[in-house]
Amino acid sequence: MSRVFIITGTSKGIGNALARLYLDEGHTIIGCSRNTTTINHTNYHHYTLDANDEKSVIDMIKEIGRKFKVDILINNIGTTTLNHIATTNLDLVDEIYRVNFRTTFLFTKEVAKIMMKNRKGSIVNISSIAVPLNLEGEAVYASMKSAIEKFTQISAKEFGYYGIRINALGVSPTKTNLIKALQKDKLDSLLSKLIIKDYCEFEDIKNGVDFLISDKSRFITAQTIYLGGVC
């Protein structure tokens, strides 16, 4: 069955890969990013905007709501940093907050309004294994992702009455531009902390999303699932 997805951050990385994978299955994908799209497909619709600009996001979602019945929202936009607290400046903290948390809050708030009318929908917020692993150098990033996980729980309660399920997927290291700057020994150390000591593939992430958005998972909401095996 074809469904309509909104996926944030589709210019590259995980968002771009998920958009392409779901397009291959015949779904309609609405993507957004600061940059123009590299995806050329009949069922793909792109908005170039700053996801922190409230008016731009509201206008985008209103326009989408007039054209589509949105089934799925994947809050994927995010950025990371690897800095000791003592060497992290406040501007970087603000940037990590804006990119990781504010966008998730804003898109959830606006897309849920469409889903409320249909009394059905599923939202998946992309989190990270950095939260449970308490990694040195990722205090700010892990804190923002932790905020997303708490936001997932509370928003699931607030919107559950309207048939909207909201979950989070904690992604393990994936070969995207975000980790290219990280030293190999640090990545190896991170992988060693997982039960499955391997890089996550885009298909692995999609499989996790598929599980969370499936109608067969109708009793699953307010949960965070971590990939790779965190214990």
**Catalytic residue list:** 127, 141, 145
From residue 224, how far is each of 20, 33, 92, 107, 129 by CA, in Å? 24, 25, 26, 19, 10
Q: Could you write out the DSSP letters of every residue in 125-154?
A: EEEETHHHHT-TT-HHHHHHHHHHHHHHHH
Whether 221 contacts 167, CB under 8 Å: yes
CA atoms within 13 Å, Cβ hemisphere of 139: 12
N-term to C-term CA, the chain: 36
In the chain, the amino acid numbered 200 is C
Q: How far apart are CA 191 and CA 209, in angstroms?
A: 21
